[in-house]
Structure formats: C-alpha cells, structure tokens
A and B are shown apart, each in its own frame.
Chain A
C-alpha cells in the first residue's frame, strides 16, 4: 500500500482496540521468566558449546604475536577463533570497526579471539591462557584536543548537510540587542541495556541460524551474510525477545559473528554473550559533543539569529553526533546557521543511542534557551512560545504536519504548578534542600519507513501476524496485536503476533522512534489486503463490509470471520510504503518537560522530586505502553543529566568505567513518581494509523529540564554534563 495522500476515515478510527490502554500481551511471559532471550534457547539447541570473548588490551596498534596453544589444550576447549584462522571476513555495511580485530587493532576491547569450550567455566578459564603481544601505536583519544582538526562530515541520509545557513546569521547576531554565546558539553554515553549482546549460532550444512538480540533483523541478516561472505538467503536471524537495545543493538555486533565462527569451528551450536566489562568498549556508544550555541533576540524576546555548532568524534570512516538537527526546526528566527564538525578519534565506535542527535542536542539548546530567557527577563515558557513556528524555519513553504508545541508547554505549566516558580534562582529552601523548578522543550522527528507484514486468517477466526519487527520493550507485540484486532474486527485474544524472524516480511524495525507508527501501518496495509480477500471469498462487496465482533457484515448478512478460511487459511502479505508527505510536510513530535529538583545545600547532591512530560505525538496506539516509553526515556534523560558519563582515559585510550558499577545509571531511589500527559491528537499525514513515534521524544530535553531546575535551585549554571556536585560545589551558596 502506498501512502501518499493524507489519511481519511478508516477502521482504526473506531478505536475499539487501538488506543486502549491494554496490558501487554507478552506480559505474562516476561513477568514469569518464560519469555526466551537469545542465550536461553535450550529449546532449539540441546547442548551448545560456550564462547568467551577476548578483547584487545590496547586501543590502537597491531597484534604481533598470538599464542593460543595453552588455551587450545586447556580442559574442555573445542576451538579458539581468531582473525588468523577465521577465514576471509568482510565488514558489515553498518559497522565502522571490524567485529573481529587483528592483526590491526582499531579500538580498546575490540574482539580479537573467541574461546569455545564445553562449559562456560572452561571457556572463561581458557581465555585467560591466550597470550597476545601487541605493538601499540599512538592514538587520538581526546575530543577537546582533536577538535582543531575536525572537518565537515560527509552528507548522507542520516547525517544531513554538514552546514546550513539561512539569511545573515553573523550580521543579525552582531546587531541583536540581547545575545547569548555559550558552549556546552555532553560526555560519551553507554546504552547499558540489561541483557548483554548475546547470540546462539547453529549451522546446518551451509545454512546458518542465529538466535540473537537485535533491533533490526534485516540489517543483521544482511550484515551477517556480508561479513561471512554468504548469500543472505542462507542466513536466518531470530530475535523474538530483546532485553533492551536503545540503539546498541541496531547493528550486527561481535557476539553474532563470533558465535557463528565459533559454531563453524567447533562443529556444533555455540552461544556467546558479551561479558559485561567488555560491552562499553567493545560495542558502540553515544559520542561526546562540544556544542556552541549563539542566540540573538530583540528585547521583546523575538529570536533574530540562532546558531548551533557541534563537534564530535568517531573512528575513521564513522559519522558525527548530529546534535544540531533540532535547531534547524524547533524555533523561528530569520537568520540561522548550523554546523557539524567531526574529529577522528581512536576510541570505540560512536553510533546511535536513543534519540541520536536530539538527545544531546536538546541537552544543550534547552539550557541555552533558559539562559536567554533569563537575560531577556522573560518567562522561559513564554520565550519559547514567542518563537514558535508552524513552518520549517529553513524552508517556510513546508508546514509542520501537526505542531501542538505551545499547547504542550501551556498545559504542562498548568499541571506542574509553574506559577509557583520563583524566577530568581536560589530563593526556595526547605531545611537543607535548595528547591528549584525547570522546564525544557521536547522535540524529535517522526520518520517514515517502509514496513511489511504477513497476516493469516484461519478457519477458527484466529488472526496471526508475522513481521520481522522487534519488541525491545517498546510494546510492539501489543500494538501490532491491537492493530490487527481492530482491522479484522476480533478481540485481541484472537490475534497471535510473531516477531523478530528474518523469515517474516521486512519491517521498519526498532529505532529512531519509527517502529510503532510504521510497523503498525504495515500491518494495517496487510490487513486491508486480507479484508479484500475475505470479502471476496464470502461474496461481499468489499466497500460495504464491516468487520466487527468476529463477524463480517454487509446489509443484513453476517458471517463468522473464520468462515472465509473454512477451506484453508487465507494469507495476505503487503507493506506500507510512503510517498512524499514527509517532504511536503515536516513531521515531528513535540512536548514539554517539567522537573522539580532539590539540591543539598551542604553537599550539592541533587535529587529529582517531580517529573512531568506533556507530549503531542499523534495518535497514541496504547496509552499504557506509550506512557512507559516516555517515563523510561525520562529516566534515561535524568541519568544523562546527573550521573552518566563514560570516563575517557585520554592517555590509554579507553572508557575506564566499563561496567555497571562504574557507569552509573539511575536506580529506583533516583526516580520519583513520573507523570505523562498525551495531547489528544491525530496526524493524518504520518500514516493510516495517524500515529507518530514517542519512544525517544521522552528523552529529548529532559536533561536540560533537570539542569534548569538545578540552576533555579542554586543559581549555579553548569554547562558540562553530567551535573555532578564536583562541578559546582565551590559555587553553592553558603549552606548554614
């Protein structure tokens, strides 16, 4: 189905199942420990061998010698896989560094060997017997030092143009009566999903099956085949449950390749989970940024010039963190510029993490907006609303498909008690606590991607959906089930949803908050096709047929849905494809974040007391799971604001705090009760579902809302994330 004109009334609008806050259909499995994750597939491979990964001990250089003999002769060892014996390997399309390194080493903890043994304990012990000599080479590990040599990144679909210019930014900024020119930094972040990257691989002749943990089945399928130089038809990727990804499992990673190679070498199924202390340096991370923001405005608070520059680093051949992207779209202003610069670093591979670009970009921009509002003496909400725009500020002929930004901010202010905020910072004290309130905009684009599905109807009236879409905690199982139930007129109990298998039609996959809208739209398209087949078989005029309550009705005739498949299952396969609606209209999601923070006047410890997000993101397919997406993103944003940082040893070239004790993410005690409000909205330009993404909107801006609340509490402005106490202790007001 081609979606190239705005959606009109369709069966989804009934909202009998879609839009209802249903419990997740996979909930009973997840809460009882019976949902099978990759490393747990005792059902598909009876006695797998165990792989243990060895990471490079140097960040850059060459392996000059490798002695695996002791390991090979260690008890239980079946194979030791290295680049030397693995046979020729290519690199995946989506990988920057090789997944099996050697002799060249591209980053610290790059996998250089897999030890396969009968037991996990044996593999782990034998791994320590592998002796490797390295010739280390000098590397570039410090973004601040490498910044001077940074260059404009190559333009592509993901990155966008390296620079944009509208009007005369420099002139307008020079002439503006009120200006801000500040630099902000965000550190490297780790996805730190709870399930380590894990794969069980089994060969059957020249065919390979991997049970793995991956967000994008088709990408993994293609890149695994490419890496192993196999036809992709001979590779099957299965990933029905994924223990968190956040972008860290968008791509093929070392666990998959090594499990496949290990299984080939050992001649039996092999499973591999990346050891936790390896993950931060072995896999990808969100790159650090240095961001300079300049804003010029009239005294009335009308932005006349806005400029955003960002520097980030990556391995040779990698890409930038696109932290300036939202600044091209979020606020009005006649004179504008953005620029990205990319430095080559020899740290581990930078790549997408939840809301790449906007997450760190909004952390900076929305502090800058707070600072600017204060300079102007204008309430920060009013300042933002004054610079709202209904059209793409760089291309005014492109309107937003829907933009309820101001409504989000106004409603949030009302619900959060914004009126009670003292605009002078450092004024509110409760005992030892300094109390502050802050807000920030939320903004994230809505992306349209082709997405396919297969839907089967059987004689019992049961509907089975198959798509390679994944559920990484997002609720895909449930919203896909709701979509099929709505379309076919059956209760959700009559729908079976099967996900995450490369033998199913290719979907949009999970990433960039594009999964929900596109994958359900793909199911919608396929159900439309199935309905046509059903009506045809039953002899109905498809225009008039109504699918409801397990029946198909037209005129005064009603037939059980299953009757259409009495003589055999009916199977439909289709995909949603898009025209140019996302070119003619800018499609984005909007919101406002509100935070109350308390800062200990003595020690500077910050505790978040209240959080509210108000979101406008099109139709909300399931308010329960959508709300969870937003609170989860708010939690990750709170971590980015207050504690998360991969600490770089700029001498030795690696992330030092590479486990879950060193890389602190929020725990229960850090997170208060969280409120989420969704505006009642549909966006007929996004898809027949009229939905948009919401899973990343929740992280965009929340860090700045925390920062602004800390400022309001203390009067101390911190522009370098995370806002840890050491950065402002000496500037806190006198405690006593």
Chain B
C-alpha cells in the first residue's frame, strides 16, 4: 500500500471538487473493497477523501412514490429497512445473499455498485491483466475460468461483476444520482452505469473523474413476486456462480436480471417477452451470444435451471 494523504469531506460537492484537485485522489466509504485492493497495490490512491461523515445515510420517499437511498446507507441497514423489505424484496434478498454480516455492516450502497471484479487473475499482481494494466494481456483467458463470465465479455477481459445488490437494482430499474466536480448533478440508470469491457476493461463505469454517487433511486414499487436466488459452491459467504434477480407478475410477465455471468448485471428486456414460454425459451434469448469457456459452460445451463427454480418458487 502506498502512502496517501487523508481528509474527511464536509459536503458532497466539496468532496467531488477535492477529488479532481488532489492528484490520485479516491473516495473512501466502507472501504471493504478499496482497502482490500490497496493492500495488494491494485489500487494506489495518493489521497483518500473519507466521505463517511456526509449526510448520505438515510432512506427517504421520493415524490414519484419510490425511495431515495443515500449512497452511504449500509448494506445491512438497506436490507433491514421495512419499506425495502415490503416493496423491494428482491433488493433486500440480494443484499442478504452477499458477503457476510460484518462486511454488510460496513459496505455502502454506492460502494457495492462500484466494487471491482473478484477474478483471481485480477487479484494476482504477478499475472498480466488488462483491467489492472491495460495492454498487458488477459491471463484468465485459457486459464482457470470456472467462476468467470460467459456473456458480455471480450477478448480483453472475461471478468464478472461480483455484486448481488446491483443485480436486484437492475431488475428494479433503479437510477443512480451523482454530483460532479463542478457541482452539477445527474442521474444515470443502473443499466447504463457499468460498461462492458470491450478493448478497455479498465474503464468499468460511465462515471467521470471525481464524480460522486450520492444516492440510488428506486422507482415506485411494481409489486409482483420478488425473488433473489443465488447459487454458489458453499452455502454462504461466497460469490455467485449464477444468481437470478426476479420480479414476476401474476400475468406471467416479469423482469429478470442475472448475476455471476457477465461484467455487469445481465438483463435483456426484449428477452422478457419469452418468459411465458418457460425458462428455456427465455434463457436462450437472454444468453444469446454467450461465449462460455469449457470450464464455465455450465453457467448457461445453470442459469436456465435456476430460473426454473425461481419460477417454481413464484408459483408457490
């Protein structure tokens, strides 16, 4: 870990401004992923802006009938919120399926969205990785790929996005609210927040330098049966092989996003028209263009079977 200077930010706008004024600055909130990566020198900020004392830790109703979740709301508090549990069950379930109690107590809403891949080659600084060192090559391709992505990947990177929460937010059509260094704010649909790797896997989101997420906005509740089903090798405290975030309506329609398969929560709205035709028809459409490896081809079949389990559960 390289030395860094440290400051506690007083306001979101001041934090965003400081982030572009200070060379090599980064924001830190929960720190559960950033510090992990700083210890390995995968992240090397020269300046940390601690945003934990900003008043961004509340969950408020919005005029549209949804919720505005402060960026600093912890994963535990978000999952425990009565409104979230009642109206956005898929989100509460996704949060509770992730990490451990200790980590959820510290990890924040915005930090969860921005966590980086858990690809073991990304984590091993003795191996080439286009995400760590653009142009150095991807050592995962052709290597141990059982956990890695099957769709949305590129010849430069086959890593997955590890978040469970983001999968639920994608199914819920959530939006993030940000403040830029110049004080301007904007809204970005979660669907557009994460970028596919293409030739630039090191660029993971559409956020601009210094841009700070201040909140996540949930639209008005859409009801339905909400399920988050996470499949992993051990029963808890593990990243997903495949996960399904589902909001299913009585008329057979629904919204489905997958985790564990792609560099971002994977949802294809057009495929959802196939839902009434069963898991195979839907998954075939959802996973069209998948490029699995020999070791992770099972994820395609597993996605279909997990969806089958979800539909079965929804039927009660």
User: A410: CB under 8 A from chain B?
Assistant: no
The CA of A559 and the CA of B241, in the complex, are separated in Å by 70
Q: Given A121-B1, A667-B234, A667-B235, A657 and B120 touching (CB < 8 A)?
A: yes
A321 smallest CB distance to B (angstroms): 22
Chain A positions within 8 Å of B142 at CB level: 651
Q: Given A277-B40, A652-B127, A661-B118, A724 and B305 touching (CB < 8 A)?
A: no
Closest residue of B by beta carbon distance from A665: B234
Q: Given A277-B123, A642-B233, A647 and B1 touching (CB < 8 A)?
A: no
Chain A positions within 8 Å of B14 at CB level: none
The CA of A730 and the CA of B305, in the complex, are separated in Å by 10
Chain A positions within 8 Å of B1 at CB level: 121, 124-125
Question: What 0/1 readout, one digit per residue, does chain A (22-61) give for beta carbons within 8 Å of chain B?
Answer: 0000000000000000000000000000000001011000
B residues 227-275 in Cβ contact with A at 8 Å: 231-239, 241
Q: Judge whether A647 and B309 touch: CB under 8 Å.
A: no
Chain A positions within 8 Å of B121 at CB level: 656
User: B41: CB under 8 A from chain A?
Assistant: yes
Closest residue of A by beta carbon distance from B305: A602
Q: Judge whether B124 and A726 touch: CB under 8 Å.
A: no
Chain B positions within 8 Å of A182 at CB level: none
Contact of A664 among B143, B144, B233 (CB under 8 A): B233
User: B221: CB under 8 A from chain A?
Assistant: no
Closest residue of B by beta carbon distance from A124: B1
Contact of A736 among B39, B241, B302, B308 (CB under 8 A): B308
B136 smallest CB distance to A (angstroms): 13
Interface majority SS (helix, strand, loop, mixed), chain A = loop
- The interface centre, meaning the residue of A108, A656, A657, A664 with most chain B CB atoms within 10 A of its CB, is A656
Q: Judge whether B120 and A662 touch: CB under 8 Å.
A: yes
Closest residue of B by beta carbon distance from A668: B236
User: B202: CB under 8 A from chain A?
Assistant: no
The CA of A121 and the CA of B235, in the complex, are separated in Å by 35
Q: Judge whether B146 and A669 touch: CB under 8 Å.
A: no
A residues 646-666 in Cβ contact with B at 8 Å: 647-649, 651-652, 656-659, 661-662, 664, 666
The CA of A40 and the CA of B29, in the complex, are separated in Å by 30
Chain B positions within 8 Å of A670 at CB level: 234-236
Q: Judge whether A724 and B233 touch: CB under 8 Å.
A: yes
Chain A positions within 8 Å of B40 at CB level: 277
Chain B positions within 8 Å of A125 at CB level: 1-3
The CA of A659 and the CA of B41, in the complex, are separated in Å by 16
Q: Judge whether A602 and B309 touch: CB under 8 Å.
A: yes
Chain B positions within 8 Å of A277 at CB level: 40, 123-124
The CA of A570 and the CA of B175, in the complex, are separated in Å by 79
Chain B positions within 8 Å of A657 at CB level: 120, 144
Chain A positions within 8 Å of B238 at CB level: 664, 667
A residues 639-694 in Cβ contact with B at 8 Å: 642-643, 647-649, 651-652, 656-659, 661-662, 664, 666-670
Number of A-B contacts (CB under 8 A): 104
Contact of B302 among A124, A607, A666, A729 (CB under 8 A): A729
The CA of A652 and the CA of B233, in the complex, are separated in Å by 25
Q: Judge whether A605 and B231 touch: CB under 8 Å.
A: yes
Q: Given A652-B139, A656-B124, A730 and B301 touching (CB < 8 A)?
A: yes
Chain A positions within 8 Å of B120 at CB level: 656-658, 662
Q: Judge whether B146 and A658 touch: CB under 8 Å.
A: no
Contact of A603 among B123, B127, B146, B231 (CB under 8 A): B231
Chain A positions within 8 Å of B139 at CB level: 649, 652
Contact of A652 among B143, B146, B302, B309 (CB under 8 A): B143
User: A735: CB under 8 A from chain B?
Assistant: yes
Q: Judge whether A128 and B41 touch: CB under 8 Å.
A: yes
B143 smallest CB distance to A (angstroms): 5
User: A600: CB under 8 A from chain B?
Assistant: yes
Closest residue of B by beta carbon distance from A732: B305
Chain A positions within 8 Å of B241 at CB level: 725-726
User: A299: CB under 8 A from chain B?
Assistant: no
The CA of A57 and the CA of B146, in the complex, are separated in Å by 23
User: A432: CB under 8 A from chain B?
Assistant: yes
Chain A positions within 8 Å of B126 at CB level: 55, 57-58, 108
User: B312: CB under 8 A from chain A?
Assistant: yes
Chain A positions within 8 Å of B306 at CB level: 602-603
Q: Judge whether B233 and A729 touch: CB under 8 Å.
A: no
29 CB-based A-B contacts, threshold 8 Å: A124-B39, A125-B1, A128-B41, A277-B123, A432-B312, A602-B309, A603-B231, A603-B302, A607-B235, A649-B144, A651-B142, A652-B139, A656-B121, A657-B120, A657-B144, A662-B120, A664-B234, A664-B238, A667-B234, A667-B237, A667-B238, A670-B235, A670-B236, A725-B233, A726-B302, A729-B302, A729-B305, A735-B305, A736-B308
Chain B residues with CB under 8 Å of chain A are 1-3, 39-41, 118, 120-121, 123-124, 126-127, 139, 142-144, 146, 231-239, 241, 298, 301-302, 305-306, 308-309, 312
- Shortest Cβ-Cβ A-B pairs, 10 listed: A602-B309, A57-B126, A669-B235, A726-B298, A669-B236, A656-B144, A647-B144, A649-B143, A643-B233, A603-B231
**Further pairs besides A602-B309, A605-B232, A667-B235: 4, Cβ < 8 Å:** A108-B126, A128-B2, A649-B139, A652-B127
